Amino acid sequence: MRKTFLAGNWKMHYTSAEASIVAKKIATEVKTLKDDVVIMITPPFTALSKVSECVKGSSILLGAQNMSYMESGARTSEISPSMLLEFGVEYVILGHSECRLYLAETDEIINKKILAGLKHPFKYLIFCVGETLDERDSGKTLEVVLNQVKKGLNCVSESDIQRIILAYEPVWAIGTGKTATKEEAEEVHRAIRLEIMKLYSKSASDNIIIQYGGSVNSNNVKELMNEPNIDGALIGGASLKAESFLSIINNVL
């Protein structure tokens, strides 16, 4: 049985002091969890050090929102995998739609980052895929998403695929208050799982975690998680307040 992964993505919110307050509240409340539920929080780079201290000794996994595929060098503003590991980072979000849009990250760049991340001892890499509203309205959702999956996982071995968490995030549902219906989300998740079976094996397909991201909140998370191919959520705005994130967690438990 696959575990449920609930990851909060704090994006460009909070100073390190502010992030610490939220992280402490979450860590205090989430002391004991079912073995099949994993909680993850992803603060800004500048808050990693303090948040790492807040979650130390807890069951919460600490993550980063992006990273370079380079280990070092003339890459102004970027941060390397080793730098993240120094702060105790256990997973990295890669290919988020906002990075694709605002940082011009292509499928090829994202693939390089995935391959670089797999060379380091991160527990997981969250690989994001998703279509725009125009692509959905044109009936291209599955074509776009599965193409992103194939390109992003190029040269990733079957032994490494177990460290990849896929996150389907329809771009039109991020931060808009809109969300895909449970049926729409399940259709894409099922297609992704079948694609993993084609690319790797039934075992890889059965075991890979596929999160949903797109205006997830305490009101819709339970019905989404009840779908057979949705294994968790990548949560933005609703993870910024400890109370709302904890409400989501409690609705899944």
List, as residue ranges, the binding site: 9-11, 175, 215, 236-237
Dihedrals phi, psi of 63, to nearest 5 degrees: -130, 165
Specify binding-site residues for substrate.
9-11, 175, 215, 236-237
Buried b (16+ CB within 10 A) or exposed e, 175-190: eeeebbebebbbbbbe
Q: Which of 90, 105, 131, 169 is catalytic?
A: 169
Q: Measured between alpha carbons, how far apart are the two ends of the chain, in Å? A: 15
Active-site residue, from 90, 96, 131, 189: 96
- The structure tokens listed for 202 are 């039934």
**Of all residues in the chain, what percent are helix, strand and coil, respectively (each to 5)?**
45, 15, 40
Which residues, at least 6 apart from 122, have a Cβ–Cβ distance to it below 8 Å? 81, 84, 85, 89, 90, 91, 92, 163
Residue pair 48/246 in contact (Cβ under 8 Å)? The answer is no
Q: Find the helix or strand (DSSP H, E) in which 129 lies.
A: strand 124-129
CB neighbour burial string for 158-167, b if at least 16 within 10 angstroms, e if fewer: eebbebbbbb
Which ranges in 138-181 belong to alpha helices (H)? 141-152, 158-161
Query: In the annotation, is 120 catalytic?
Result: no
- Would residue 18 show up in a list of annotated catalytic residues for this protein? no
What is the H or E stretch that residue 41 is in? strand 37-42
**Tokens 């948040």 belong to residue:** 51
What residues are labeled active site?
96, 169
